[in-house]
Chains A and B, each alone.
Chain A
């Protein structure tokens, strides 16, 4: 796989032409051109000849009770994110495939022992107010983030030492140390803003609401009110005019309200969790209504390794053997989240990184679990709960955030499973904030938590959960072999070295079970092919299919073609 940056820079440069080509490949999904459909919307019967007469798309990305006139791309809490549609980064690294998209950048080149990255900036790009875009805007943007740390929401200046222009169309990024994987964040997650606008802001730009956003993306703000805002196609877009002329974003305050809208056919693209989706959503218009729930991370049972009982590998192995993951998928997650595998990788996305010979399935084996615990000296007490040789009961609290109903259901299932091997689980559902605090402060026995949805190599996920001192290393795992392998991965652009490093981590993970993977956390996405085709799906998962994923949403939109 062409997963390393160096190779990407040299060969796998996906041009816009290639994007269009990919969309063509994706066209095999457009077997659903049957005209008529259920006739849910009246406006769709017209024959589309030009792009401007194509119907709009109604999109639900985030639930919100109302919109505010705020399009600042650096406002983290901003629900109506303009990232992707209005503002673009240099590149986009897909998290569901190994694809890299060239946006405002066209090439990357490593030098200086992998400490300097030179990016070539796209020519002929215009801001949506007609002003020309150049490498100067890129340098301005990064220096703005340096000047105002409150804008640096990806913490890129933790790794960077300097960003400067080279020649007329190149930008050089100097890193403090070798951090090859992190460069994906540096050049792939920072929206570029226009110098001619942002240099004139008085004071801290993070406090500016940017009501009339000027970006380079395929869309620009059209109409705004607190209930609905619309984006229209940017006529100056460097990648050509998008097929969808208008995007409508209604504010919907709750998941239930959103589910109603979705099943009523009033949303064309959404990312809702919906039970029995085949019956409730798809069955009402099977030719046009689809969903795609790709796995993006592991949902883990996180043990606190500072707890002496949970620090015992035998206990963790026994737990893992006793948990019926298929049942968690079927009952807790409605069959949407397949069981995880023992390597810690998200398969099939990361299949190429899998160490040959590692097992790819967990099996339920109560007898073996009991045997493991017996061997380790945990004897069953009168109440059926095992007791350690030093007299401590195998009884733990398990926390998951209140109101995350699928996880709450999972908790109960886990408790039932572990009861069979003499481990008592007290199910608790604190408020989200308390759960998150308990994790951050390591004040828990067992917790449910999914990894971050990030990175197009397994590196970032593993580093987050396993590297000592990382904030997401909630279990406090500290294994020098793993840490060394991760460092090795980060310091090289050579694919075979990176693979070897990953194999080491996977083998250690399987042996130690620092966290117990349960099922793959899925990304939700529902879409209608009534008007447009070319959506990411299982046969072509080119990017994350959720409309809420920043930057990926615009790539999906640029891949859409009229269905008629």
Chain B
């Protein structure tokens, strides 16, 4: 996005009184990202996430057993050298299942995030920026979608899809999760509608579409990235929820499926914690890493969250004095 031609005019001087965030900032998201990495919490988040992504990528190399061989191993073996995470009640190697599940669950999370983020950006930014009838319709659909109870709706839609595989789950989750994010983007895009630099671009005869791409969108990068990260979480949670309820194919190894199988196999009742803990803990860690990343972005991109400058002592004293004069 930084390659986009700069806006022709930027009348920053005309509004000197307003704080910096209203002045049109440069699309400096790369710079922002660098600052995010300097935030220790975000850094930890990135490290955890990277670890899981590596596991997902190298799943076939890491797997110690054939993931497709049902019932070949002795059931309910505790973790050992041979079975790193033990075996399930059905005679599968938990570690092998887990590395493949990591692959499935992460990819579902990313795909859901792509769909939902794209929809929320397209619908939210366009309707917010454009206003008028388009906005009214989109806003309406958003409002209705927001009041329908999410998970039951997802269960219902899933039942339309016989033998719902991972792709189906991705679409169901992706198509139902955009409204909240779209509303946020719409609200922000609306504030740009009347900003000077946008008005100027409009006057300059540029099309709405170009203005959105060149003027509005780059300024919303942090919000978009924020949405993307949240939607990965939503996708991973949603997958776990649906599969735990037994919706969708149970043959793909995923964290939700592992939990579903462990629960149906009474893993905890049989004391087989090694069957139940890995998928749940993995979900926790990945969601935590995403939360940390989002937190870091927020901390860096929201100027008002930035660490306050220590006021010089002289100034503080002056303020104190002024307050005193004002009278108690």
Genuine A/B complex: yes
Interface residues of A, Cβ cutoff 8 Å to B: 255-256, 259-260, 263, 274-276, 279-280, 327, 331-332, 402-403, 405, 408-409, 412-413, 416, 427-431, 433-434
Checking B246, B251, B265, B269 against A427 with a beta-carbon cut-off of 8 angstroms, the contacting residue is: B251
Q: Does B89 contact A (CB under 8 A)?
A: yes
Chain A nearest CB from B241 CB (Å) reads 15
Checking B71, B265, B269 against A260 with a beta-carbon cut-off of 8 angstroms, the contacting residue is: B269
In the bound complex, residues from chain B placing their C-beta under 8 Å from that of A416 are 70
Assuming the contacts A405-B264, A412-B70, A412-B251, asked whether A430 and B269 have C-beta atoms less than 8 A apart, the reply is no
**Complex CA distance for A427 and B249, rounded to whole angstroms:** 10
Chain B nearest CB from A400 CB (Å) reads 11
In the bound complex, residues from chain B placing their C-beta under 8 Å from that of A255 are 264
Chosen A-B contacts, 20 in total, with CB atoms closer than 8 Å, are A255-B264, A256-B266, A260-B269, A275-B89, A275-B270, A276-B270, A279-B270, A280-B269, A331-B70, A402-B163, A402-B249, A402-B250, A403-B246, A405-B261, A405-B264, A405-B265, A409-B70, A412-B251, A428-B162, A430-B162
Question: What string of 1s and 0s marks CB contacts (under 8 Å) between B73-106 and chain A?
Answer: 0000000000000000111000000000000000
Closest 5 CB pairs of A and B: A403-B246, A331-B71, A430-B162, A434-B162, A412-B70
**Complex CA distance for A280 and B247, rounded to whole angstroms:** 27
**Complex CA distance for A220 and B240, rounded to whole angstroms:** 44
In the bound complex, residues from chain A placing their C-beta under 8 Å from that of B90 are 331, 409
Pair B250/A405 contact, Cβ less than 8 Å: yes
Pair A256/B249 contact, Cβ less than 8 Å: no
Assuming the contacts A280-B269, A433-B159, asked whether A256 and B250 have C-beta atoms less than 8 A apart, the reply is no
Pair A275/B265 contact, Cβ less than 8 Å: yes
Assuming the contacts A276-B270, A402-B246, A427-B251, asked whether A256 and B264 have C-beta atoms less than 8 A apart, the reply is yes
Chain B nearest CB from A448 CB (Å) reads 14
In the bound complex, residues from chain B placing their C-beta under 8 Å from that of A413 are 70-71
In the bound complex, residues from chain A placing their C-beta under 8 Å from that of B270 are 275-276, 279-280
Pair A259/B269 contact, Cβ less than 8 Å: yes
Q: Does B263 contact A (CB under 8 A)?
A: yes
Among A427, A429, A430, A433, max chain B CB count under 10 A is at A429
Pair A263/B269 contact, Cβ less than 8 Å: yes
In the bound complex, residues from chain A placing their C-beta under 8 Å from that of B70 are 331, 409, 412-413, 416
- Extra A-B contacts (13), CB below 8 Å, given A259-B266, A431-B159: A255-B264, A256-B264, A275-B266, A276-B89, A276-B266, A280-B270, A403-B246, A405-B250, A405-B261, A413-B71, A427-B251, A430-B163, A431-B247
Chain B nearest CB from A389 CB (Å) reads 31
Residues of B255-273 whose CB lies within 8 A of A: 261, 263-266, 269-270
Residues of B212-243 whose CB lies within 8 A of A: none
Assuming the contacts A331-B71, A331-B90, asked whether A403 and B250 have C-beta atoms less than 8 A apart, the reply is yes
Checking B250, B264, B269 against A429 with a beta-carbon cut-off of 8 angstroms, the contacting residue is: B250
**Complex CA distance for A255 and B265, rounded to whole angstroms:** 11
**Complex CA distance for A276 and B265, rounded to whole angstroms:** 9
**Complex CA distance for A332 and B70, rounded to whole angstroms:** 10
**Complex CA distance for A226 and B82, rounded to whole angstroms:** 50
**Complex CA distance for A256 and B91, rounded to whole angstroms:** 20
Residues of B302-318 whose CB lies within 8 A of A: none
Pair B247/A402 contact, Cβ less than 8 Å: yes
Chain A nearest CB from B316 CB (Å) reads 61
Chain B nearest CB from A444 CB (Å) reads 11
In the bound complex, residues from chain B placing their C-beta under 8 Å from that of A429 are 163, 249-251
Residue of B nearest to A426 (CB): B163
In the bound complex, residues from chain B placing their C-beta under 8 Å from that of A428 are 162-163, 249
**Complex CA distance for A259 and B269, rounded to whole angstroms:** 9
Assuming the contacts A259-B266, A280-B270, A327-B71, asked whether A408 and B89 have C-beta atoms less than 8 A apart, the reply is no
In the bound complex, residues from chain A placing their C-beta under 8 Å from that of B261 are 405
Question: What string of 1s and 0s marks CB contacts (under 8 Å) between B40-51 and chain A?
Answer: 000000000000
Residue of B nearest to A405 (CB): B264
In the bound complex, residues from chain B placing their C-beta under 8 Å from that of A402 are 163, 246-250
Chain A nearest CB from B216 CB (Å) reads 43
**Complex CA distance for A61 and B263, rounded to whole angstroms:** 21
Residue of A nearest to B90 (CB): A409
In the bound complex, residues from chain B placing their C-beta under 8 Å from that of A279 are 270
**Complex CA distance for A409 and B75, rounded to whole angstroms:** 14
Chain A nearest CB from B75 CB (Å) reads 9
**Complex CA distance for A433 and B159, rounded to whole angstroms:** 9
**Complex CA distance for A332 and B261, rounded to whole angstroms:** 13
In the bound complex, residues from chain B placing their C-beta under 8 Å from that of A427 are 251
In the bound complex, residues from chain B placing their C-beta under 8 Å from that of A430 are 162-163
Chain B nearest CB from A428 CB (Å) reads 5
Among B91, B247, B251, max chain A CB count under 10 A is at B251
Residue of A nearest to B71 (CB): A331
In the bound complex, residues from chain A placing their C-beta under 8 Å from that of B250 are 402-403, 405, 408, 429
Chain A nearest CB from B88 CB (Å) reads 11
Residue of A nearest to B248 (CB): A402
**Complex CA distance for A403 and B249, rounded to whole angstroms:** 9
In the bound complex, residues from chain A placing their C-beta under 8 Å from that of B265 are 275, 405
**Complex CA distance for A280 and B267, rounded to whole angstroms:** 11
**Complex CA distance for A24 and B170, rounded to whole angstroms:** 61
Residue of A nearest to B246 (CB): A403
Among A260, A405, A427, max chain B CB count under 10 A is at A405
**Complex CA distance for A434 and B249, rounded to whole angstroms:** 13
**Complex CA distance for A274 and B163, rounded to whole angstroms:** 26
Residue of A nearest to B70 (CB): A412
In the bound complex, residues from chain B placing their C-beta under 8 Å from that of A434 are 162-163
**Complex CA distance for A267 and B70, rounded to whole angstroms:** 33
Residue of B nearest to A433 (CB): B159
**Complex CA distance for A408 and B70, rounded to whole angstroms:** 11
In the bound complex, residues from chain A placing their C-beta under 8 Å from that of B246 are 402-403
Chain A nearest CB from B207 CB (Å) reads 47
In the bound complex, residues from chain B placing their C-beta under 8 Å from that of A263 are 269
In the bound complex, residues from chain A placing their C-beta under 8 Å from that of B91 are 331
Chain B nearest CB from A405 CB (Å) reads 5
**Complex CA distance for A332 and B265, rounded to whole angstroms:** 12
**Complex CA distance for A430 and B269, rounded to whole angstroms:** 29
In the bound complex, residues from chain B placing their C-beta under 8 Å from that of A408 are 250-251
**Complex CA distance for A322 and B80, rounded to whole angstroms:** 35
Residue of B nearest to A408 (CB): B250
In the bound complex, residues from chain A placing their C-beta under 8 Å from that of B71 are 327, 331-332, 409, 413
**Complex CA distance for A516 and B230, rounded to whole angstroms:** 50
In the bound complex, residues from chain A placing their C-beta under 8 Å from that of B266 are 256, 259, 274-276, 280
**Complex CA distance for A332 and B263, rounded to whole angstroms:** 16
In the bound complex, residues from chain A placing their C-beta under 8 Å from that of B264 are 255-256, 405
**Complex CA distance for A331 and B75, rounded to whole angstroms:** 10
Among A275, A403, A430, max chain B CB count under 10 A is at A275
**Complex CA distance for A416 and B72, rounded to whole angstroms:** 12
Residue of B nearest to A254 (CB): B263
Residues of B140-169 whose CB lies within 8 A of A: 159, 162-163
**Complex CA distance for A431 and B251, rounded to whole angstroms:** 14
Chain A nearest CB from B290 CB (Å) reads 29
**Complex CA distance for A259 and B91, rounded to whole angstroms:** 21
Residues of B185-203 whose CB lies within 8 A of A: none
Chain B nearest CB from A413 CB (Å) reads 6
Chain B nearest CB from A406 CB (Å) reads 9
**Complex CA distance for A413 and B68, rounded to whole angstroms:** 11
**Complex CA distance for A256 and B266, rounded to whole angstroms:** 7
**Complex CA distance for A72 and B91, rounded to whole angstroms:** 45
In the bound complex, residues from chain A placing their C-beta under 8 Å from that of B89 are 275-276
